[in-house]
Amino acid sequence: MESRFDYFHTAPELFKALYALQNAVNHASLPQELQELVKMRASQLNGCALCIALHLAEARRLGIADEKLHLLNAWRETPLFDARERAALAWTEALTLVTEGHVADAVYEQVRAQFSDQELVELSFAVTTINTWNRLNIAARRSPEEAKKFSKAA
């Protein structure tokens, strides 16, 4: 599949701004392992092959078990995910699929029980930022092979 457009070279200032936001999210207080699970889950929901490949490599580099990564799309059905991860994944799904019922109070209550105000805001930025990357990469038809260029694991 050939890419449709190159947002990096066409609009470098916009790319730099989004990259700066991503860098700030990456350096927030949320553990990198949790951030990678969130990035992967949103990317699965959106069907962004590039982002799935990129964040799979990063999750493995961070030492997240393959079993957990293989079962991420069925996180509700396995005991591999702790309460904090479950809350983050529920929040990720609610924000990613916001048109399917907005963010339910039950999901908000679940995430509030596990995260401080600061962490909730950071988690929300992590989810919305990966959703932006997903949408750009899907629209541009960026291939998963391109993930090797960006992966720290490569």
Q: pLDDT tens-digit profile of 101-153? A: 899 999 999 999 999 999 999 999 999 999 999 999 999 888 767 766 665 54
Measured distance CA(117)–CA(147) in Å, rounded? 33
Determine the pLDDT at residue 148. Answer: 67
- What radius of gyration, in Å, describes the C-alpha atoms of the chain? 15
Nearest of 1, 99, 91 to residue 50 by alpha carbon: 1
> What is the pTM for the complete model shown?
0.90
Q: 144 or 45, which is more confident? A: 45
Residues 6+ apart with CB under 8 A from 71: 77, 78, 80
Q: Give tens-digit pLDDT for 46-100.
A: 999 999 999 999 999 999 999 999 999 999 999 999 999 999 999 999 999 999 9
Measured distance CA(50)–CA(3) in Å, rounded? 12
31: pLDDT strictly greater than 90: yes
Please state, as a whole number, how many other Cβ atoms lie within 10 Å of the Cβ of residue 15: 15
Domains of the chain, start order: 7-150 (1.20.1290.10)
Residues 6+ apart with CB under 8 A from 88: 34, 37, 38, 111, 114, 115, 123
